[in-house]
Amino acid sequence: MARRTKAEAAATREALIDAAEEMFMEHGVARTSLEQIARHAGMTRGAVYWHFKNKADLFHAMLDRVHMPFQNLFDEVEGPTVDNCPLEAIRLACIKGFARAEQPRNKRVHFIMMYRCEFFSDIDPQAMQEEISKDILTVLLKYFQLAAENKQLTSLSPEAATELFYATLSGLFTHWLRQSDNYSLETQGSAMIGNLLHLLRSA
Amino acid sequence: MARRTKAEAAATREALIDAAEEMFMEHGVARTSLEQIARHAGMTRGAVYWHFKNKADLFHAMLDRVHMPFQNLFDEVEGPTVDNCPLEAIRLACIKGFARAEQPRNKRVHFIMMYRCEFFSDIDPQAMQEEISKDILTVLLKYFQLAAENKQLTSLSPEAATELFYATLSGLFTHWLRQSDNYSLETQGSAMIGNLLHLLRSA
DNA sequence: ACAAACATACAAACAAAGATGTATAGATGT
DNA sequence: ACATCTATACATCTTTGTTTGTATGTTTGT
């Protein structure tokens, strides 16, 4: 083989990431070699080292395809209708997030992060999760504070409500990830956070 | 060196597991070699291979030192006083569990399971967590059903309450594990599950 | 428009480093 | 004397990073 067109090369790159995803999923990150990834994509390590610096770089590229900050979910939701309904905004944003998470690629990558990857070189799942956690917590706090100002929150402080809600959300998420397939975030997850928000809403 | 007394040999074994814990914690399971573990314990791989079949076997030995089924926490709590107070029993059992989890060795091992280990040979963190999850869910369901029968539960079904509570509990736990040290399960965690149980209690 | 010249996209081969498992030697309690 | 515990030595396998080779796009000069 030899040089391909730009489009073909880009396709190769994507195919390599696809292959990496599948192999990471099946055998774990540490235990899949670049050789295996290349073969699974129908290439050799030459292609891998052309497109990526090393395994960590390939891993980052895989993450980049699915990254989505939490605030975006609210931006998609927030219309004039929910502006004075922060708790409802939270609910709808979560449902949006669930729909995204259920997309196969998103689920696979998050699963890899959670159960198929331990830290190496500059990859540190703990730190990454901590970053996501902070992001979600600050955004949630904003909306729970708004709810408290509007007297829509029970006796709990906005801070306590935020931490409680976040714990539930992340616990739900990891539990869903762990299940094989017989668990739908969009239905059962939405129900759960609906229940929690109901409990948090002042009567 | 050579043969030690039985007690010294047992101490060697423990020291090897201690060393494994520390190295796993620092460098991840996949990226620490048996050589590193042995050296860190002041031994050579000969000692490791005498006491353990291989890395997976050593890993299992490490887990065995901290294993504790969820029901045990209730057994320690349950007196005649809380027999008709299932929600209070849940609260106290959780607090017991938090105290256990805060012990350095327990925290280290759980941290390793969560953030420093991906599956290899017969080690599968996902499956292990799923098993623990099932254990906790069945025990919790028992007590929430009791609470429902005693009319101590809000409108939520026992099943919904169980799933909600479990999600919160596991989310709280992983979030606590991830924090460096500035987060106390016994104080902040107890407060959170206290809040949740308060919301779940019928007025 | 059409070569020459260059850059790109891979494959293939190579060298070095680690890790694993095993086999064996040696020392010491019992 | 013998079983137990640990160190040492060895052979093998895997992975990684690098280098080199090469065919083909792509661009540029004329």
Write the DSSP string, chain A. Answer: -----HHHHHHHHHHHHHHHHHHHHHH-STT--HHHHHHHTT--HHHHHHH-SSHHHHHHHHHHTT---HHHHHHHH--GGGTT-HHHHHHHHHHHHHHHHHSHHHHHHHHHHHHS---BTTB-HHHHHHHHHHHHHHHHHHHHHHHHHTT-B-SS-HHHHHHHHHHHHHHHHHHHHHS-SS--IIIIIHHHHHHHHHHHB--
Please give the protein residue whose CA is closest to the C1' of the nucleotide D4: B3
Lowest mean pLDDT among A32-36, A43-47, A136-140, B75-79: B75-79
The band of B2, judged by pLDDT with boundaries at 50, 70 and 90, is: low
Q: What is the pLDDT of residue A81?
A: 64
Per-residue confidence (pLDDT) for residue B79, from 0 to 100: 73
Q: What is the pLDDT of residues B98-114, one digit of tens each?
A: 999 999 999 999 999 99
> Helix, strand, coil shares of chain B as percentages rounded to 5?
75, 0, 25
Tell whether the model's pLDDT for residue A2 goes beyond 70.
no
Question: A193, A167 in Cβ contact below 8 A?
Answer: no
The per-residue pLDDT for range A14-48, each reduced to its tens digit, is 999 999 999 999 999 999 999 999 999 999 999 99
Q: For residue A54, give every residue at least 6 positions away whose Cβ sits within 8 Å of its Cβ, in sequence order, or none.
A: A34, A121
pTM: 0.93
pLDDT band at B80 (very low <50, low <70, confident <90, very high): low
- Number of A:B CB contacts under 8 A? 107
Split at pLDDT 50, 70, 90, the class of A1 is very low
Quote the pLDDT of residue B82. 67
CB–CB contact A167 B175 (8 Å): yes
pLDDT band at B77 (very low <50, low <70, confident <90, very high): confident
Q: In this prediction, what percent of chain B has a pLDDT beyond 70? A: 96
Q: Residue B203 pLDDT > 90, yes or no?
A: no
> A121: phi > 0 → left, psi -120 to 50 → alpha, else beta; which?
left
* Out of A61-70, A82-91, A137-146, B72-81, least confident range: B72-81
The helix/strand/coil state of B118 is: coil
B contacts of A199 (beta carbons < 8 Å):
154, 156, 199-200
Q: Which residues of A touch B (CB under 8 A)?
A: 28-31, 115-120, 125-126, 129-130, 133, 154, 156, 160, 163-164, 166-172, 174-175, 178, 188, 191-192, 195-196, 199-200
Closest residue by Cα to residue B195 from A29, A115, A154, A151: A154
